[in-house]
């Protein structure tokens, strides 16, 4: 049976709850990823997606019509826009459980945590498809 550990992405990027959205924007602008895990003292507290960031920032940023108020949106803190108490799995969970959660809970990622709730990976639809293809393609 295929497990989450076998297909999860182990390279994760974390931010802290008091980091500004400017920091988050720079991470998303420079790295090819869609989700950041939000931690405090290495413990998972939330998830922040690139879509969460886009919804939180002014659409006028970087445009001629940009105002000081638009720029202020970059000073919001991660804890103001993150998804709290995300659905999680352990590395030994079966892939079937991950697929079920992705479908029924309509989420785009699931953080993978150890017994101390420290993030050790992340699983997305892309990981599921790669894993299934590697097993049967």
Tell me, what CATH number does 76's domain have?
3.10.580.10
> Does 136 score more than 80 pLDDT?
no
Confidence band for 114, pLDDT divided at 50, 70 and 90: very high
| Residue 13 belongs to domain spanning | 4-136
The pTM of this model reads 0.89
What is the count of structural domains for the chain? 1
Distance from C-alpha of 87 to C-alpha of 101, rounded to nearest angstrom = 8
Q: What integer pLDDT is reported at residue 63 of this predicted model?
A: 75
Range of lowest pLDDT (10-14, 19-23, 59-63, 110-114): 59-63
Q: Quick check: 76 and 55 in contact, CB under 8 A? A: no
Q: What are phi and psi of 22, to 5 degrees?
A: -60, -45
Angle at 46 between CA 123 and CA 126, to 5 degrees: 20
CA 83 to mean position of chain CA atoms: 9
Q: What integer pLDDT is reported at residue 41 of this predicted model?
A: 95
The neighbour count for residue 89, using CB atoms within 10 Å, is 22
Q: Model confidence over 63-78: pLDDT tens digits? A: 777 677 877 888 899 9
Which pairing describes strands 83-84 and 109-113: parallel, antiparallel, or unpaired?
Answer: unpaired
Q: What are phi and psi of 44, to 5 degrees?
A: -70, 130
Confidence band for 137, pLDDT divided at 50, 70 and 90: low
């Amino acid at each position: 049976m295929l497990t989450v550990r076998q297909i999860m992405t182990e390279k994760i990027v974390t931010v802290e709850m008091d980091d500004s959205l400017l920091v988050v924007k720079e991470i998303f602008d420079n790295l090819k990823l869609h989700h950041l895990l939000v931690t405090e003292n290495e413990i998972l507290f939330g998830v922040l997606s690139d879509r969460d960031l886009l919804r939180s920032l002014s659409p006028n940023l970087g445009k001629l019509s940009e105002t000081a108020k638009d720029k202020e949106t970059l000073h919001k803190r991660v804890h103001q826009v993150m998804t709290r108490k995300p659905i999680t799995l352990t590395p030994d969970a079966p892939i079937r459980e991950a697929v079920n959660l992705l479908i029924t809970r309509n989420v785009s990622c699931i953080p993978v945590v150890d017994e101390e709730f420290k993030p050790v990976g992340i699983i997305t639809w892309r990981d599921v498809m790669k894993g299934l293809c590697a097993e049967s393609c």
